[in-house]
Structure 1
Amino acid sequence: MINGYELATAWVSEVGICLEDRTYSGKTAIREQWFQKAKIHGPWAITVNHLPCDSSRIYLNNYNFEVCKVIEFTLLDQVDLEQYYSLIEIYKESKRKFDRLKRGYNYGSLR
């Protein structure tokens, strides 16, 4: 333990960086797609530092002690989920329409 920080082994999984009963995320994990890789290849261990009295963040040892913050999962009720899925479908349909318009547009006519 240095300055109150403890060394610990955390696990990278498809849901985040897991340490004890908390789940964390950070820039490197997102940029390097750790969670997607863990879903495909399985979880792996990493070394982190943390303050036992502050479980809101951990620090990645091999990444210049980059901070990772705790992820707060929230339960959504059925109405929220239906609205969410409805918005996703609206987005997908808008994207399909845009792609069809883009394919049909003659960009050569702009010259």
Structure 2
Amino acid sequence: MNEIGIGRITERGIIFNKLRYSCDAAIKHQWFEKARTSGEWLVLVISEKSNLEKILVIEPFRKLLLVCNVIQPNSVSAVKLEKYFDSIQKLKAMRSLRPNRNRMAPRQINPVGEPTERTR
């Protein structure tokens, strides 16, 4: 039997019935990043009580049904997992603040017509 409930989009995944879920659309549209920067939001969820491996999330903007799969807990402790996620978020923040150093200045032509060394 299907039931309708409320799920929460967080930076750690889609939370429903104390389980975490994810799906391609959530990753593609950066829901978890948006939840981290702008705050969490609620979504409607359709689930089957006998099978919580998958849920259907009613996508709030385009009103599509999205199949989301449970994120399996693993043997890593919750503390280690939390530290891992925090370090990833810090690296992303540092990377977004760093100027793009891979770009090189355009090559300059000297009066003879030969390219000179690239400058930065």
Q: TM-score range by the shorter chain?
A: 0.5 to 0.7
> Over the residues paired in the alignment, what is the CA RMSD in angstroms?
2.3
Higher gyration radius (CA): 2
1:11 aligns with 2:8: yes
Shift, 1:12, TM fit: 0.2
TM-score normalised by structure 1 residue count? 0.62
Percent identity at matched positions?
27
Q: Which residue of 2 aligns with 1:42?
A: 39
- Among 21, 24, 29, the alignment partner of 1:24 is 21
The amino acid of 2:52's aligned partner reads S
Separation in structure 1 between the aligned mates of residue 65 and residue 41 of structure 2, nearest angstrom: 18
Q: Deviations over 1:65-87 (max 9, x none)?
A: 2210000132338xxxxxxxxxx
In the TM superposition, 1:53-92 aligns within 5 A as: 53-62=50-59, 63-76=63-76
What SS does structure 2 have at the residue aligned with 1:18?
A: strand
Alpha-carbon distance in 2 for matches of 1:49, 1:76: 29
Report the alpha carbon displacement of residue 5 of structure 1 after superposing the two structures with TM: 1.1
Deviates more, 1:58-67 or 1:44-53: 58-67
With the length of structure 2 as denominator, give the TM-score of the two structures. Answer: 0.58
Cα shift at 1:64: 3.0
Between the aligned partners of 2:32 and 2:64, the Cα distance in structure 1 is 20
Structure 1 unmatched ranges of 5 or more: 78-98
Alignment of 1:99-110 (within 5 A): none
What letter is aligned with 1:70? V
